[in-house]
Chain A
Amino acid sequence: MSATDDPTFLRLGPLPPLPPPSSGAGALGWLRANLFAGPANIVMTILCVALVAWTVPPLVRFFLIDAVWSGADGSACRVSSARPNPGACWAFIRVWIAYFVYGFYPLDERWRVDVFFVALVLGFAWLLRLSTPRRDLGALYFFIVLPILSYVLLHGAPLIGLRVVPTTLWGGILVTVVVATIGMVFSLPLGILLALGRRSTLPVIKLAAVAFIEFVRGVPVITVLFMASVMLPLFVPERFAPDKLVRALIGVALFASAYMAEVVRAGLAAVPRGQYEAARALGFGYWRMMALVILPQALRFTLPNIVNTFIGLFKDTTLVFVVGIFDFLRTIEAARADPKWAGPNTTVTGYAFAALFYFVCCYGMSRYARRTEARLARGVRR
């Protein structure tokens, strides 16, 4: 009989861990689990790879390899013996970039636009970064100081030696940013007021707020802009008739505040009832209760949604195109129609550039919203 018959066996240490099954670990295992799990999955992967192989190389070739990077006019981008099939016409963007940014803003006054951009970025950074100090001052700066400063800078103030630049000369990214910022600056306070009105117990106030919000949200943004640009001049005395850009800005502020009101209302609804009751128990009146207890919480809850509304607003700024304002998209349209440059690859390049601009702005904002959401969730998580 050998030693194995001995029934007593005592293991003194843990077994060494078994290696994972070779098919389930490492890069190969990952591939197997995520790309080749089962026949249907394999077919799907092959189709996707085919799709990528079919679309990506031509795009890379068009936008990078075959692209024309410099040239004084469109002839560089046309089919010639040197370039049998020219790709994207980046030269077009390089030549026109100043127009895309400033429109017809006078050359020697463009520093004012630059200062405006810097002041704006400062305002956004101050207000939107949750870790910056004194964000209440930031709000003051963004909603009071910045609009006045921007008006003085962009429009001009002869008193302090800044030449007046009529809005007909504004254009490009400047106008897009102005329209978007005006929308944001006005929509938040107006939206808060409308949302409070909609939740008010006073029937007249509630009815007025509901009627306005539902009306503006129920019709296309384009018709609101049409209304602002065609009907507004009829409704005010002739000498007060606002100029074209201001009319469009009024239209934008109108629809942006109606959309914002619904977002703020959702935030208000998310504040627990106990908070209202506690504020009342402390003897706060309506406005103090709202300003000190309810709104700070409501806006905090709904900050990601507010940013999402801003993204929508930023995309909707392109619609001022329809009422004849030279925003960024309109300057691209104008430039690509220039007979010196016109051509299919110029068109595609112009649109690709515009798409890149809007994508970077909107995607950046949505990333911010998602990060903030996660960060705010940290405080409530138990």
Chain B
Amino acid sequence: MAAQLKAALQPSRRHTRRVGNIAIQLVTLAIIVALADGAIFEAVQNLARAHITSGFGFWNKTAGFDISQALIAYSPSTSTFGRAFWVGLLNTLLVAAIGIVLATVLGFAIGIARLSHNWLLAKLAAGYVEVTRNVPPLLQLLFWYNAVLKSLPELRGSVTLPGGAILNNRGLFLPRPEFAPQFSIPLIALALGITATIALKSYANHRHDRTGKEVPVLWLALGLIVVLPLAAFALSGFPPTFSVPHMGRFNVSGGVEILPELAALLLALSVYTAGFIAEVVRAGMLSVSHGQVEAAQALGLRSGLALRLIVLPQAMRVIIPPLTSQYLNLIKNSSLAVAIGYPDLVQVFAGTVLNITGQAVEVIAITMAVYLFFSLVVSLLMNLYARTAAIAER
């Protein structure tokens, strides 16, 4: 009797659970919709009260403010807010790209140094990692900007570096090559050299796999990438004229200017991120089993070769996923620019444009969409890599 009752109850219990699940989801959905609806209602009222028009009409209006560093043509009197957005975005990409290269080089060097057999080197690298990782990046940025770069000599006491570069607390001024038309010839030669090197490398790998014979790729590559363009350069005639910066009474004119804000941001981002990359690299190298190193030694590989041919390729599989997330962090941290006034996307768009137009919702939504797009692209690439690099299991 009791068993029958239980059997009869069983499906109905499952049924209640299903009903309960649907109810929970409906309630959640209702709460989200209600919150969003209330928020939109209030936003419309608040915006109307503040006489702020909504929509993306501001995109084509004249911006009217200046930006201290623009990679594309920009003038405060004629350029639009949309143009300002692209200027900011390019500045963000510039600092992210250079920062990623610097952080990777520094991070790999320190990560490998931390595993060195040299006690002093390993300890110094460990000290670097602990200090950079445990001090907030904003503080590091302010330190580089206010304490280091601001204490460089003033305009009058500018340091002239070899090659005609000028360094003072307004920035670093480098000579800028003025490209004559025939300058494209060495550039083409350089592109050719790089393409040829890639082809050569793939041929060399192929031959090495088949016959075990080495091709002196390094020397050939050096010839192709360095000597060929230089020869083309000499043949095409003239060295380019450089626009050398020279000191005026109130400013430095000519040349390429590297803003102290850019330099500080690059220093802070690469030094901070390098600490994390070093740890990623160390963990990756430690994940390669010790037997691999011993096998390499048994085959007679020197330690440098063993590192390059045996350990690093296997470690890369472990290193790449967290490394990309560090790259993403660097891109996101570049928004610290706002604290020192480097004109990145956040400073120009979510800062100045927002203050001028007052259209907080649209401006912040666009800014966030850009960063979300970066995240999406990077994680997509990441998944692609993970698929190709996965160990082929038997």
- A residues contacting B by CB (< 8 A) are 34-35, 37, 41, 44-45, 48-49, 51-52, 202-205, 208, 214-215, 217-223, 226-227, 230-231, 233-238, 311, 315-316, 318-319, 321-322, 329, 333, 336, 344, 347-348, 351, 354-355, 358-359, 362-363, 366
B372: chain A residues within 8 A (beta carbon): 215, 218-219
B388 interface residue per 8 A CB criterion:
no
**Is B46 touching A35 in the complex (CB atoms < 8 A)?**
no
Secondary structure of the A contact surface, majority rule: helix
Residue among B26, B136, B335 making CB contact with A318, cutoff 8 Å: B136
Q: List 5 A-B contacts (CB under 8 A).
A: A44-B118, A202-B24, A220-B335, A235-B43, A316-B136
Instruction: Say yes or no: A329-B138 contact (C-beta < 8 A), given A35-B120, A204-B28.
Output: yes
B119: chain A residues within 8 A (beta carbon): 34-35
- Residues from 252 to 280 in B contacting A, C-beta threshold 8 Å: none
B151: chain A residues within 8 A (beta carbon): 344
A227: chain B residues within 8 A (beta carbon): 364, 368
- Residues from 23 to 52 in B contacting A, C-beta threshold 8 Å: 24-26, 28-29, 32, 39-40, 42-43, 46-47, 49
CA distance A41 to B360 in the complex (A): 58
Given contacts A205-B25, A362-B134, 11 further A-B pairs with CB under 8 A are A202-B24, A217-B375, A223-B346, A226-B364, A234-B43, A234-B46, A238-B46, A329-B138, A358-B134, A358-B135, A359-B134
Nearest CB of A to B244, in Å: 30
Nearest CB of B to A197, in Å: 9
Nearest CB of A to B140, in Å: 8
B346: chain A residues within 8 A (beta carbon): 220, 222-223, 226
**Is A355 touching B139 in the complex (CB atoms < 8 A)?**
yes
Q: Mark B136-158, 1 if CB is under 8 A from A, else 0.
A: 11110011001100110000000
B124: chain A residues within 8 A (beta carbon): 48, 51-52
Q: Mark B344-374, 1 if CB is under 8 A from A, else 0.
A: 0010001000100000110010011001101
CA distance A354 to B130 in the complex (A): 16
**Is A366 touching B339 in the complex (CB atoms < 8 A)?**
no
Instruction: Say yes or no: A355-B143 contact (C-beta < 8 A), given A34-B117, A208-B28, A227-B368.
Output: yes
B142: chain A residues within 8 A (beta carbon): 329, 333, 351
Instruction: Say yes or no: A223-B335 contact (C-beta < 8 A), given A203-B25, A231-B361, A234-B46.
Output: yes
Nearest CB of B to A378, in Å: 21
Nearest CB of B to A29, in Å: 13
CA distance A217 to B378 in the complex (A): 13
Scoring B26, B32, B39, B120 by chain A CB atoms within 10 A of each residue's CB, the highest score goes to B120
**Is B47 touching A230 in the complex (CB atoms < 8 A)?**
no
CA distance A336 to B116 in the complex (A): 41
Considering only CB atoms, which chain A residue lies closest to B368 in the complex?
A219
CA distance A354 to B140 in the complex (A): 10
CA distance A41 to B304 in the complex (A): 13
Considering only CB atoms, which chain A residue lies closest to B24 in the complex?
A202
Considering only CB atoms, which chain A residue lies closest to B122 in the complex?
A34
CA distance A231 to B42 in the complex (A): 11
**Is B21 touching A351 in the complex (CB atoms < 8 A)?**
no
**Is B139 touching A354 in the complex (CB atoms < 8 A)?**
yes
B339: chain A residues within 8 A (beta carbon): 321-322
Q: Across chains A and B, which 9 residue pairs bring their CB atoms closest together, nearest first?
A: A218-B375, A34-B119, A362-B134, A235-B39, A204-B25, A220-B335, A220-B332, A315-B136, A318-B136
Instruction: Say yes or no: A222-B134 contact (C-beta < 8 A), given A37-B117, A205-B28, A234-B42.
Output: no
Nearest CB of A to B341, in Å: 12
**Is B118 touching A48 in the complex (CB atoms < 8 A)?**
yes
- B residues contacting A by CB (< 8 A) are 21, 24-26, 28-29, 32, 39-40, 42-43, 46-47, 49, 116-121, 124, 130-131, 133-139, 142-143, 146-147, 150-151, 332-333, 335-336, 338-339, 346, 350, 354, 360-361, 364, 367-368, 371-372, 374-376
CA distance A321 to B142 in the complex (A): 12
**Is B138 touching A348 in the complex (CB atoms < 8 A)?**
no
**Is A230 touching B117 in the complex (CB atoms < 8 A)?**
no
Scoring B32, B118, B374 by chain A CB atoms within 10 A of each residue's CB, the highest score goes to B118
Instruction: Say yes or no: A34-B333 contact (C-beta < 8 A), given A222-B346, A223-B368, A230-B364.
Output: no
CA distance A51 to B110 in the complex (A): 15
Nearest CB of A to B95, in Å: 13
**Is B117 touching A351 in the complex (CB atoms < 8 A)?**
no
Nearest CB of B to A256, in Å: 15
Scoring B47, B130, B138 by chain A CB atoms within 10 A of each residue's CB, the highest score goes to B138
**Is B131 touching A359 in the complex (CB atoms < 8 A)?**
yes
CA distance A230 to B135 in the complex (A): 28
B131: chain A residues within 8 A (beta carbon): 359
**Is B138 touching A218 in the complex (CB atoms < 8 A)?**
no
B134: chain A residues within 8 A (beta carbon): 311, 315, 358-359, 362-363, 366
Considering only CB atoms, which chain A residue lies closest to B328 in the complex?
A218
A220: chain B residues within 8 A (beta carbon): 332-333, 335, 346, 371
**Is A359 touching B135 in the complex (CB atoms < 8 A)?**
yes
CA distance A359 to B275 in the complex (A): 14
B39: chain A residues within 8 A (beta carbon): 235-236
CA distance A354 to B46 in the complex (A): 40
**Is A223 touching B350 in the complex (CB atoms < 8 A)?**
yes
B28: chain A residues within 8 A (beta carbon): 204-205, 208
Scoring A34, A234, A358 by chain B CB atoms within 10 A of each residue's CB, the highest score goes to A234
CA distance A204 to B333 in the complex (A): 32
Nearest CB of B to A49, in Å: 7
B42: chain A residues within 8 A (beta carbon): 234-237
Nearest CB of B to A236, in Å: 6
